[in-house]
Amino acid sequence: MRTTKCFWRYAFGLLTWIGVFMSEAPVKTAHAKARPVYRNIHIFQILKYRLPLAGKLSILHRVSGALLFLALPIVILPLFDKSITSELSFQQFKIMIDNPLLKLIVLGLVWSYLHNFCAGIRYLMLDVHMGTDKYAACKSAASVFVVSLGLTAIFGLKLFGVF
């Protein structure tokens, strides 16, 4: 019984000694600097955090993709079906699309598509390591917002019959 305890104590000490000298990690000392603690974010604390423009773009890219995915069977496919089935259904489609509420929904989907498309191109460029430094990433995020909102404004003007 006593020899078993002594054996395990010796084995543990030997393994610890081997681990200390064989590992690449530094040995922690008692006076080591404490690491910062990151806590979970509460839902009401989200608005207090200041994200960079690229972070906001990333979140909106995900939101726009989810919006397109969820709107596909509810809005997009029924409207597409109405527009191509027959001449009579196309006339019904034109009457439906004259509703201002439906025009706003379609405009939101147009923004969602354009934003997702422009941000997707930006992410493809980042995947090939173009524009990964901080300045270029901020400029490309701003350009995605400008292009997607500008194109949405043009489509909105056309949708509401300005030209």
Please give the full DSSP string across 108-158, using - where no structure is assigned.
Answer: HHHHHHHHHHHHHHHHHHHHTTSS-SHHHHHHHHHHHHHHHHHHHHHHHHH
CA dist., res. 64 & res. 119, Å (int): 10
Residues in the chain: 163
Tens of pLDDT, residue by residue over 14-42, are: 555 455 445 555 555 556 677 777 777 77
Of 119 and 31, the structure prediction assigns the larger pLDDT to: 119
Number of domains in the chain: 1
Tell me whether residue 31 is in a domain: no
In percent, the amount of the chain with pLDDT more than 70 equals: 80
Phi and psi (nearest 5°) for 15? -65, -40
Domain residues for the domain of 109 are: 52-159
Structural domain contains residue 100: yes
Is the model more confident about 44 or about 107?
107
Distance of alpha carbon 140 from the chain centroid:
15
Q: Which residue has the higher pLDDT, 125 or 4?
A: 125
% the chain with pLDDT above 90: 65
